[in-house]
Chains A and B, each alone.
Chain A
Amino acid sequence: MSVHAIMPPLPARRPRRPIPGFGLSLGYSIVYLSFVVLLPLIALAMSAARLDFDGWMRVLTDDRVIAALRLSFGSALAAAIVNSVFGPICAYALVRFRFPGRRMLDALVDVPFALPTAVAGIALASLYAPSGPMGKAILEVFGVQVGYTSLGVTLALIFVGLPFTVRTLQPVLRDLEGDMEQAAALLGADRSRVWRRVIVPSVAPALVTAFTLSFARGAGEYGSVIFIAGNFPRLSEIAPLLIIIRLEESNYAGASAIAMVMLLVSLCSLVVINLFQALMRERLGHE
């Protein structure tokens, strides 16, 4: 007697019970997000919408506002450029070479993420202030003042943005070593050709991502910057600080306008980078 004869016939396929909790989890998430993010951002949009065209013009042509926006975005751009040069070098050396202190340096890369911004801020300020050890040395040797100038702001933003580039590039470089570079070398490409045709093109998309992330983060950065900036109006006053100053003056319209401009620029840069990534994926998929 075969086993099948004594077993009751199995149902062809048991209808699957749907996973429960859709309403509860989605509902709770939406309520939470609405209170924490959506409602406040709508309040910002409404507050900025209360300004008419002339009001916007008045805020945006104020030279103090222009100077602050230029400082925040300009320094963020400069810092992102510096990090796009040194970040890849660090990432490459940390992934490819074995050298003394490598593990410590690799761990150090995470410090700017982990260190509270105010702590980084006072540390940088006391180092690079004109009376601080680094600030004094640079002033004497190069005749350039770092603390309380836009240079100091850029320096703080280099610190803040550094992990973005290194950490974004490391996995890409690690993957590359395994197959693409070996294949290229096996096929007879010399090292400079491997660099030109394999390493640089593969790393470029990740570098653009890292550049944008570090730019967006730097433009809005507050804690690590205000101590080293010195906050002189029109000279070293960053845009987030000006929002706080406007708020303290109860000038909500002025604060909202600056906040709106900053928000739109960071959102736009993030949208552009997402489009760029989609484009890259598509191109790589077709090739």
Chain B
Amino acid sequence: MSEDRPSSACLQAHARRYAGAGDGPVLRLLLILITWLFLSIAVLLPLCVVFVEAFARGSDVFLSALVSRETLQALSLTLTVTALVVPANMIFGLSAAWALTKFEFPGKPVLLSLIDLPFAVSPVIAGYVLVLVFGSSGWLGPVLSELGVKVLFSTPGIVLATIFVTFPMVARPLIALMEDQGREEEETALSLGAGGLRTFLTVTLPNVRWALFYGGLLCAARSFGEFGAVSVVSGHIRGLTNTMPLHVEALYNDNRVAAAFAVASLLASFSLFTLILKFVLERKLPDDVREAERVR
């Protein structure tokens, strides 16, 4: 009787023949061709155009666009904003993840939904609501301008708008990972006599460092490229409140297309670089954390 039952290796080979290569060669070829065509036209072509157009007028135009005063100022503003946004979101992400994963309290789902909210809000609306709060007829605008603080049409407004669109990118992987890890290691450290701060610095932080870098990377990439939200609050003052993407828009609208693409190619190179880093970091994260974040 037992000879009738195939061995498990044989079963698997049998199954693979049906499941792995189950689709006929014609269907296979068709699906592969469609994939090649669709992704080439939809993604590869626009990506190549950026670099082709950047050098369309020769490398002189390319270089002079990159080292022009306005470009350098836009670059320095973008770097400043990113340098402020990423740490702020990292501190928030750690604090929110600590509260949400180490404790039970009522209203947790509300807090989680608030963290997810920016994904549902158009970037333009994110910028617009800041105008409602900090504008000259807004709630805080008049008070702050009395104090001499300018939020709109200057760096603080751009930072706030960028924070609005990026903070979930750091908080969500941290929450997912710390939820996975539970609270046992922290409880052990505490019961062995470590203080709260020491527990956090020597147990929690090393455990979540890759998720923190990962979120920080996504956040930095988006801060570099954020357009809609920043466009509403920046006021588009050339050489002063134009970030890199806004500078690209200004050049393009001035019909300085090659210069616009030169600056755009710099942004595109940066985003390709972050993609490579992202693939490297994803290997260091558990599957479920990674896959939950990939679709954001």
Contacts and interface: CB of A to CB of B under 8 A. Distances in A.
Given A17-B190, A240-B228, A262-B125, A118 B120 contact: no
Contacts of B120: 216, 263, 266-267, 270
A20 B43 contact: no
Given A43-B138, A119-B245, A222 B227 contact: yes
A26 interface: yes
A232 B260 CA distance: 23
A93 B31 contact: yes
A208 interface: no
Interface in A202-223: 210, 213, 216-217, 219-223
B56 to A, nearest CB: 10
B217 to A, nearest CB: 10
A28 B117 contact: no
Interface stretch (A57-65, A102-110, A275-283): A102-110
A247 B268 contact: no
A125 to B, nearest CB: 8
B53 A126 contact: yes
B117 A37 contact: yes
Given A90-B35, A109-B43, A185-B15, A41 B268 contact: no
Contact of A108 (B18, B43, B122, B132): B43
A89 B33 CA distance: 10
A116 B163 contact: no
Contacts of A90: 34-35, 38-39
Interface string B1-33: 000000000011011101110111000100110
Q: Which of B15, B120, B268 has the most CB of A within 10 A?
A: B120
B61 interface: no
Q: Which of B121, B124, B138 has the most CB of A within 10 A?
A: B124
A80 interface: no
A241 B178 CA distance: 39
Interface stretch (B44-52, B142-150, B207-215): B44-52
Q: At the interface, is chain B mostly helix, strand, loop or mixed?
A: helix
Given A126-B49, A216-B120, A185 B19 contact: yes
A27 to B, nearest CB: 9
- Chain A's interface size range is 35 or more
A69 interface: no
Given A92-B31, A262-B125, A266-B121, A40 B133 contact: yes
A44 B20 contact: no
A118 B227 contact: yes
A177 to B, nearest CB: 6
A7 interface: no
Contact of A16 (B49, B53, B187): B187
A256 B132 contact: yes
B283 interface: no
Q: Which of A14, A93, A134, A244 has the most CB of B within 10 A?
A: A93
B259 to A, nearest CB: 11
B49 A182 contact: no
Contacts of B23: 96, 191
B267 interface: yes
B115 interface: yes
B92 to A, nearest CB: 5
Interface of A: 14, 16-17, 19-22, 24-26, 28-30, 32-33, 36-41, 43-44, 47, 86, 89-90, 92-94, 96-97, 99, 101, 105, 107-112, 114-127, 134, 158-159, 162-164, 167-168, 171, 177, 181-183, 185-186, 191, 194, 210, 213, 216-217, 219-223, 227, 240-241, 243-244, 247, 252, 255-256, 259, 262-263, 266-267, 270
Which 4 A-B pairs have CB atoms at the shortest separation, nearest pair first? Answer: A220-B122, A116-B225, A185-B18, A182-B15
27 contacts: A20-B196, A22-B105, A29-B100, A37-B114, A37-B117, A37-B118, A40-B126, A40-B129, A43-B139, A92-B31, A99-B32, A109-B43, A111-B47, A114-B278, A116-B268, A118-B246, A118-B249, A119-B245, A122-B260, A123-B261, A126-B261, A185-B19, A222-B124, A240-B125, A259-B122, A263-B122, A266-B122
Interface of B: 11-12, 14-16, 18-20, 22-24, 28, 31-32, 34-36, 38-39, 42-47, 49-50, 53, 91-92, 95-96, 98-100, 102-103, 105, 111, 114-115, 117-126, 128-133, 137-139, 160, 163-164, 167, 183, 186-187, 190-191, 196, 199-200, 221, 224-228, 231-232, 244-246, 248-249, 252, 257, 260-261, 264, 267-268, 271-272, 274-275, 278-279, 291, 294-295
Given A28-B91, A127-B46, A222-B124, 9 more contacts: A19-B186, A89-B34, A108-B43, A109-B43, A114-B221, A122-B261, A182-B19, A185-B14, A194-B22
